[in-house]
Amino acid sequence: MFSLIAAITFDPTIRGILVVAVAVAVLPGSIFMIISTNTGVKLGILITLAGLFGWIFLMSSVWWMYGIGLKGRDPSWQAIEVNMSRDSDTVTEQVNSLPRPEDLPDPVELLNRYPDIKATAMEDPAFASLVETDPQEHRLTLSKVASLDSQIREDLNEELGGWRILSEQDTRRGETTAAADAVLASDRSVSLTGFTGTADYFVEDVFFYGGKTADEPQLPDDDTSALSRAWTRITSIFEPKNPDLLSVVTVRQAKNFEPDPSKPPATTQPRTDVDALSVIQLRNLGNKRFVPALFTLVSLVLFVSFAYLLHHRDKLEMAMVEAHEQEKD
């Protein structure tokens, strides 16, 4: 007997079934028992089930609205292709319009186009060290330059063939880079690239293509007016289908440094003598709200059905009472 109880305790499937069974028996079961003592078993079942599915409908409506509770798959990035050099056309057609890393503007030259912004940025010693250091030692990325001002970002996007670069303040950059890290850490990618961890490569830039304009986050340096943002939200309502959202994460092999126990670990630095590797990904919107939406609609149908049965039963009883009164008269 004790062995059976121990097996139930450590088996999550059996334990879960027992928990649900007890909960159903105690919660709806107790309500049904109380109601049935006053109305009878048949009417008690109808009232209990109508109340139960009405409550489930309200609860699942909140799940549907906020994407919580019993939900489907969350949106995620799915890798389409890992391109080693971009020397030839990629399988993803849209990526061919993005200039190759070697054809993109040099970050230092791009920064020199904006002397006022550069002067302000050079007041930061960390940023100044990136600009003044030999590019062979540490590469200044386009993302860092584009993060300085929205004007730089807008001008650079015009040269990207419909793509747009993400600044380092963009919250989407972290999620996209993390998805690319998972791809590069897979067994298949390790055999292809030779990367065994995130320390083996340096993430340079992240580019986006497509998607809804209304989904673009508001960055601290953006000067878009509130009225313009509101209008963008309104126009997105009439765009029910979400365009495909693609991302390209460019990385380079990192330099190898001899570890020095007396010094802190060296920062990751890219090798400028090798081609940049591009991780091409497609945004999968998932079905986060589909499951609660289905749950809500089923609960609503059941609630309306049991409520209609109660209404129909009341009408029959009223008709019988009326007929009985007429017979008495």
Separation between Cα atoms, residue 229 and residue 168, nearest integer Å: 22
Residue 63 sits in the same domain as residue 192: no
The alpha helices in 40-87, defined as continuous H runs, are: 41-66
Considering its fold, how many domains does the chain have in total?
Answer: 2
Instruction: Tell me the residue ranges of DSSP E strands in the chain.
Output: 76-83, 164-165, 201-210, 245-253, 277-284
- Burial readout 166-187 (b: 16 or more C-beta within 10 A, e: otherwise): bbeebebbeebbebbbebbeee
Q: Which two tokens stand for residue 321?
A: 């009472």
Residue 61 sits in the same domain as residue 98: no
Q: Which residues pair with 282 in a beta bridge?
A: 78, 246
Q: Which residues, other chains included, contact 249 with Cβ-Cβ below 8 Å and sequence gap of 6+?
A: 176, 177, 180, 203, 205, 206, 278, 279, 281
Residue 53 sits in the same domain as residue 184: no
For residue 329, the model assigns a pLDDT of 67
For residue 310, the model assigns a pLDDT of 92
Residue 118 sits in the same domain as residue 153: yes
Question: At which of 267, 284, 301 does a domain end?
Answer: 284
Residue 64 sits in the same domain as residue 85: no
Residue 270 sits in the same domain as residue 300: no
Q: Which residues, other chains included, contact 299 with Cβ-Cβ below 8 Å and sequence gap of 6+?
A: 53, 56, 57, 60
Q: pTM score > 0.85 for this model?
A: no
For residue 150, the model assigns a pLDDT of 86
CA angle 298, 300, 303 (to 5 degrees): 110
Residue 126 sits in the same domain as residue 275: yes
Residue ranges making up the domain that contains 323: 2-70+289-328
Residue 314 sits in the same domain as residue 273: no
Look at residue 168 and give its three-state secondary structure.
Answer: coil
Query: Which residues of the chain have a pLDDT value below 70?
Result: 1-13, 134-138, 214-225, 228-229, 232-233, 257-263, 265-266, 329
Helices 2-10 and 12-39 cross at an angle (nearest 10°) of 100
For residue 125, the model assigns a pLDDT of 86
Separation between Cα atoms, residue 77 and residue 67, nearest integer Å: 19
Residue 108 sits in the same domain as residue 254: yes
Residue 242 sits in the same domain as residue 106: yes
Separation between Cα atoms, residue 247 and residue 243, nearest integer Å: 13
Residue 46 sits in the same domain as residue 125: no
For residue 38, the model assigns a pLDDT of 87
Separation between Cα atoms, residue 295 and residue 61, nearest integer Å: 9
Residue 256 sits in the same domain as residue 280: yes
